[in-house]
Amino acid sequence: MNASILDRRRAGMLVPVYALRSDRDLGIGDTAAVRDAVDFVAGLGMSVLQLLPIHETFGDHSPYNPISSRALSPAYVSLTPQEVPGLTHALLEQAAPESWLSQLRSGNVRHDAVYPLKTQILLTTAYHFLGLHASSMHEEFARFQDEQASWLRPYTLFRALVREYEGNTVWDDWRPEHRTHELAEAWLQRHSTREGLELLRTGFAFIQWVAWRQWKEVRAHAEERGVRLMGEMSFGVGLNSVDVWANPSLFDTEWSLGTRPLAHFDTSKDAERWGQNWGLPPYRWENHRSTGFQWLRERIGWESEFFHGCRLDHLRGYFRAYMFPWAGGARHVEFSSLSEEEAAQQTGGLLPRFIPGPDDDPTSAAMNELQGREIIGHLIEAAGSMDLVAEIMGEMPDYMTRALHELGLANLSFPQLERTEEGAVRAPGLFRELSLVAYANHDNAPLAQLLLHLQQASSEDPEGKSARDLKALLDFAGGSSTGFEGLDDELLGKFQGALFQTKGRLAVLMCSDLLGIPLRFNLPGSYGRGTWGDRLECPLGDLLRHPVYGPRISLVRDLIKSSGRSVVEGDDMPPTPPEVWVGTTGAKSAT
């Protein structure tokens, strides 16, 4: 199968794995549900299924705050005896009786229950598997451990220590002999319970092997159905991650990554004063450079094991990063009411800033361009045949526009940010061809929510910005702002059709915009329990028979076909080069 997601006009759907449902899940979407999603999009004539990052998380379980850049999430493993070597129905029923599963399956994801449950089931299964007679599966497991040892050995020791510390991943709170990978390995060699800890490490390695096997099977199934999988590589990793613990020289733990305040994003109130503080440690690029960017290259190479395309989160950050001299989360909230002078008093005179420097200074902009081109060049080279799509929207500095074009890198385009000088949404035929066009992703309000917000704001100020934005969007879709009362079936179809008619090679509907519902997956600036857990109300297959959603889905199938985006495997057109891109003008983006 031609694996490119950008070789011709295609349509796709975006959905977080955790949001998917199936009759057999354990309270969270899993690889079996992803296979069902592949079948669902294939049935619509779509040929791309886009997912959020699939790596292991802790705490608020944000996919963008992983505890490992390589370890796959145990929560997404499908737990059936057919898919997990060593798992039995008896073990599964004992650990997760149906009465409990029915509670876990209702409502949103309960990470605090689902994650430890699935991890413990997999560890118990691992010990059972290891006690079975040697087989080809045991040989495969041994090969996996050998081939992935460079990241797997530090990861399994880190996970064993997290268990010893009763789930505390803040390794800076651990005893001194555990605070780095080298010290912890030396400690383990002389520890009296070394054998038990090594067995636990093997258990965590088993979980990663099972997850790896299942995601490889998802890819194989997608290829059988003519569907390309698009994943994502988050820009950073968590401060309390195994990556920082095992490779401290590659990260700056004194500062915290984020963005300055964004005019075009709705965020939580806590984020409005200073911008978004993600609580992630910035990279020490000079130390990455001394290793030939090995860590970064291996990271993107790992994504290519599972995906045909990959979204590069926060591409601007590779050119220059916005950093805070204080931590994210609750600490960031404490600063929300402070003036610059008051904040500086708390930090020894330090304030948030761009590194290497701001784009409005020609000297630092030149440095930013050199850095970004170097790093992104390594990503493109190490990605191999996997297509990359840059998460970069709206207006950007000339050097970024130039770099995207010269590097042949696709970018993300939101119609609401693609504006003419007069304020209208750019005509469908004027979108950059080498782009992924969408109305929203996980951080954005879906159409149903966005239009309602604009309508309410417009009623308060008929001549204000929201009223102009609403009119521009409705004009783009061929709707009317006169008497507008919300997103009905007819208007939803017009918005979907307008998206598919754009010139961008790949047009993607977030699942919420496919169905026309206000389901949003993240509000930038929010954190803590209750985030990253919203799910679809039923399995995708059931939506086809739903009295409201069924007709909407059927219309999308027709729109995909009429826009020339429906793909029947074997009918792939040969790749054609995109037109020369001269950039865009539109809403200011300062991410």
Please give the angle made by the CA atoms of 93, 99 and 101, to the nearest 5 degrees.
70
Region 209-232: mean pLDDT is 99
pLDDT confidence tier of residue 267, bands split at 50, 70 and 90: low
The tens digit of pLDDT for each residue in 301-316 reads 999 999 999 999 999 9
pLDDT confidence tier of residue 176, bands split at 50, 70 and 90: very high
Q: Minimal CA–CA distance to 496: which of 434, 565, 579, 433?
A: 565
Region 387-416: mean pLDDT is 95
- Per-residue confidence (pLDDT) for residue 583, from 0 to 100: 44
Cα gap 200→202, rounded to integer Å = 5
Choose between 25 and 577: higher pLDDT: 25
- Per-residue confidence (pLDDT) for residue 144, from 0 to 100: 99
Cα gap 316→558, rounded to integer Å = 36
- Per-residue confidence (pLDDT) for residue 527, from 0 to 100: 65
| Residue 425 in this model has a pLDDT that exceeds 60 | yes
H or E element: which one contains 499? Answer: helix 489-501
The tens digit of pLDDT for each residue in 80-95 reads 999 999 999 999 999 9
- Per-residue confidence (pLDDT) for residue 526, from 0 to 100: 72
Average pLDDT, the chain: 93
pLDDT confidence tier of residue 479, bands split at 50, 70 and 90: confident
- Per-residue confidence (pLDDT) for residue 268, from 0 to 100: 56
Helix-helix angle 194-224:181-189, to 10 degrees:
130
- For residue 248, the SS3 value is helix
Query: In the chain, pLDDT over 90 holds for what percent of residues?
Result: 87
Q: Provide the 10 A C-beta neighbour count for residue 136.
A: 7
- For residue 456, the SS3 value is helix
Q: Minimal CA–CA distance to 301: which of 386, 236, 238?
A: 386
| Residue 20 in this model has a pLDDT that exceeds 80 | yes
- For residue 344, the SS3 value is helix
- Per-residue confidence (pLDDT) for residue 571, from 0 to 100: 44
The tens digit of pLDDT for each residue in 47-69 reads 999 999 999 999 889 999 999 99
- Per-residue confidence (pLDDT) for residue 266, from 0 to 100: 54
Q: Which residues pair with 395 in a beta bridge?
A: 588
pLDDT confidence tier of residue 8, bands split at 50, 70 and 90: very high
- Per-residue confidence (pLDDT) for residue 493, from 0 to 100: 98
| Residue 345 in this model has a pLDDT that exceeds 90 | yes
Query: In the chain, pLDDT over 70 holds for what percent of residues?
Result: 93
- Per-residue confidence (pLDDT) for residue 270, from 0 to 100: 53
- Per-residue confidence (pLDDT) for residue 576, from 0 to 100: 46
